[in-house]
Structure 1
Amino acid sequence: MAGGRLVSMKDVARHAEVSVGTVSNVLNRPEIVSPDRRDRVEAAIAELGYVRNDAARQLKLGQSRTVGAIVLDSGNPFYSQLVGGIEAAAEDSQLMVIAGSTGHREQRERLYLSLFEEQRVRGILLASTGGTGPLVEAIRGRGTPVVLVESDPDERGSSVSVDDIAGGEIAVQHLASLGRRRIGVVAARQDLRQVADRLRGARRAAETAGIELEVLDAEDLTVLAGRTVGEAVVARPRAERPDAVFCVNDLLAVGMLQAFAFRHQVAVPEEIALVGYDDIAFARSTVVPLTSVSQPSELMGRTALALLEEQIARPEAAPRHVSFAPELVERESTTG
């Protein structure tokens, strides 16, 4: 600070007895400045405490180093791992990530999209609620690239996703292969593409196996909502309970496990086998380690940022759509 105000490049130039252009060259192209002048400028910067205004510089150049990431629920470890992958890739490229969580609310998603565009971010990585398509197109049209994550691909931008239909299918196929015939599916927010696709795959596998699924509606995609559904299952007579349950995410499955474990009312997997989805980090450390359909969350984050950088480098190129195949990770909640 100089006299209570921010130190400017002019202050540094005056202190070092050089031109403002020389200070700029030291900051941006030091190799073209003589060692003597470079040393004087660097000493002035250190003495005065000068901090470059990178935001203004980037705005002037039209080359922001900040990426906006919008996810559905930061409380879900899957999205934490996804953002972790974005941040790791961003660090490799010397970029900064600003992340926002919509809580599955379209209004909040619209707010983040608008704010990120106003901040002139480099681009936006979006896990969408599904209702902001026209706004996304408008933002793209004004020059900010948007890569969709966990969403249906569109023609205007790149995307990264997992084949959730296949994921739901392999979950129920696994349970049917164990001889389970009364299979329930715990789901919430069926308006979300991911949930709808997982249900579609589950129904396809059940039809192939000659099994009729029971859909158990949850209030939300949370541990507490899963526990509530689990308590309702425990309250049924034993003969009326499902002998297997597929939950459309791991948080619901953890809540089911909690309800089953309370007072040891239901043995997992002996009485009810249980499969989750996402394979979040603590799926392997639950009271009964959880069988889950795995999504490569960190890899998805890294890939999303790579696709964004491709769009920036070659805006005329056709969008790319990367879809990962899910994998079943078997643990004690089904294999005993």
Structure 2
Amino acid sequence: MAGGRLVSMKDVARRAGVSVGTVSNVLNRPEIVSGDRRERVEAAISELGYVRNDAARQLKLGQSRTVGAIVLDSANPFYGQLVGGIEGAAEDSQLMVIAGSTGNREQRERLYLSLFEEQRVRGILLASTGGSAELVAAIRGRGTPVVLVESEPGAHGSSVRVDDIAGGRIAVEHLAGLGRRRIGVVAARQDLRQVADRLRGARAAAEAAGIGFEVIEAEDLSVLAGRTVGEAVVARPRAERPDAVFCVNDLLAVGVLQAFAFRHQVAVPEEIALVGYDDIAFARSTVVPLTSVSQPADLMGRTALALLEEEIASPEAPPRQVSFTPTLVERESTIG
């Protein structure tokens, strides 16, 4: 600070006895500045505590080093793992990531999209509620690349996703293979593509196996909502309970498991087998370790950033859609 204000390049130039252009060259092309002048500028920078405005420089050059990431729910550890993958890849490329969570709300998603565009970020990685397609297309048209994460199949532009229909299917196929005949699927927010696809896959597997299938609606996609559903299942007469439950995410499954374990009212998996989705880190350390459908969250994040950089490097190249196949991780909640 100089007299209570930020130190400018002019201040540095005045202290070093050189031109502003020389200071700029020391900061950006030091190899073309003589050793004596470079040392004087570097000493002035140190004495005055000058910090260059890199954001302004990047804006002028049109080369931002900041990536915007928008996820559906920061309370879900899956999205923490996803952002972790983005940040890991960004660190390798000397980029910065700013992440925002929409809380599954379209209005907040649109706000983040607009703010990131206004900030002239390098690009946006978006796990969408599905309601901002027109805004995304407009932002792309104005020159900011957007890569969709957990996108609709065949989405416009580059995208990375997991085959959630396959994920729902393998969960119920696993339960049917264990001899379970009455499947309850705990779900919320069926308007979200991911949830709808998991339900589609689960229903198709149940129909193929000729077993009972029931959708149990939760208030939202949280642990507390899962616990409420679990308590409602426990309150049923034993003959009316499902003998297996598949939850469309692990948070719901953890809540259901808590309700079942309370006072040992339901034995898992002996009475009711339980499967979650996402394979968050906590799934392996629940009171009964949770069988879960695993998504490669870290790899998805890294892939999304790689697709963004590909688009920046070759804007005329056709977009790429990358799809991963989920896998089932078996633990004691189904196999005892």
Q: Does 1:233 align with 2:233?
A: yes
Deviations for 1:89-119, whole angstroms, at most 9, x for unmatched residues?
1111111111111111111111111111111
Match of 2:110 in 1: 110
Bigger shift: residues 209-218 or 166-175: 209-218
Match of 2:167 in 1: 167
Question: In structure 2, how many angstroms separate the alpha carbons of the residues matched to 1:155 and 1:167?
Answer: 19
Secondary structure, counterpart of 1:74 in structure 2: coil
Question: In structure 1, how many angstroms separate the alpha carbons of the residues matched to 2:29 and 2:172?
Answer: 60
Deviations for 1:236-257, whole angstroms, at most 9, x for unmatched residues?
1111111100000000000000
Alignment of 1:78-93 (within 5 A): 78-93=78-93
Question: In structure 1, how many angstroms separate the alpha carbons of the residues matched to 2:111 and 2:306?
Answer: 25
Match of 2:281 in 1: 281
Question: In structure 2, how many angstroms separate the alpha carbons of the residues matched to 1:269 and 1:39?
Answer: 71
Q: Contact between 1:155 and 1:319, CA under 8 Å: does it hold in 2?
A: no
Q: 1:121 to 1:261 in 2, by over 3 A?
A: same
The TM-score, its normalising length taken from structure 2, stands at: 0.99
Q: 1:156 to 1:242 in 2, by over 3 A?
A: closer
Match of 2:8 in 1: 8
Which AA in structure 1 matches 2:111?
L
Q: CA deviation at 1:223?
A: 0.3
Q: Which runs of 4+ in 1 moved over 6 A?
A: none
The TM-score, its normalising length taken from structure 1, stands at: 0.99
Question: In structure 2, how many angstroms separate the alpha carbons of the residues matched to 1:179 and 1:4?
Answer: 74
Which AA in structure 2 matches 1:145?
P
Deviations for 1:164-197, whole angstroms, at most 9, x for unmatched residues?
0000000000000000001110000000000000
Deviations for 1:106-135, whole angstroms, at most 9, x for unmatched residues?
111111111111111111100000011001
Q: CA deviation at 1:37?
A: 1.6
Secondary structure, counterpart of 2:277 in structure 1: strand
Match of 1:187 in 2: 187
Q: CA deviation at 1:154?
A: 4.8
Deviations for 1:275-302, whole angstroms, at most 9, x for unmatched residues?
0000001100001000000000011111
Question: In structure 1, how many angstroms separate the alpha carbons of the residues matched to 2:74 and 2:53?
Answer: 30
Question: In structure 1, how many angstroms separate the alpha carbons of the residues matched to 2:107 and 2:189?
Answer: 16
Match of 1:213 in 2: 213
User: Structure 2 stretches of 5 or more lacking a match?
Assistant: none
Match of 1:149 in 2: 149
Alignment of 1:1-336 (within 5 A): 1-154=1-154, 156-336=156-336
Question: In structure 2, how many angstroms separate the alpha carbons of the residues matched to 1:154 and 1:25?
Answer: 47
Q: CA RMSD in A?
A: 0.9
Which AA in structure 2 matches 1:171?
A
Which AA in structure 2 matches 1:261?
A
Q: Contact between 1:65 and 1:122, CA under 8 Å: does it hold in 2?
A: yes
Number of aligned pairs? 336
Deviations for 1:137-188, whole angstroms, at most 9, x for unmatched residues?
0111111110000011556410000000000000000000000001110000
Which AA in structure 1 matches 2:307?
L
Question: In structure 2, how many angstroms separate the alpha carbons of the residues matched to 1:321 and 1:76?
Answer: 24
Secondary structure, counterpart of 1:213 in structure 2: strand
Which AA in structure 2 matches 1:277?
Y
Bigger shift: residues 157-166 or 5-14: 5-14
Q: 1:158 to 1:207 in 2, by over 3 A?
A: same
Question: In structure 1, how many angstroms separate the alpha carbons of the residues matched to 2:236 and 2:178?
Answer: 23
Question: In structure 2, how many angstroms separate the alpha carbons of the residues matched to 1:90 and 1:20?
Answer: 32
Question: In structure 2, how many angstroms separate the alpha carbons of the residues matched to 1:224 and 1:249?
Answer: 13
Question: In structure 2, how many angstroms separate the alpha carbons of the residues matched to 1:154 and 1:58?
Answer: 34
Work out the percentage of aligned pairs sharing the same amino acid.
89
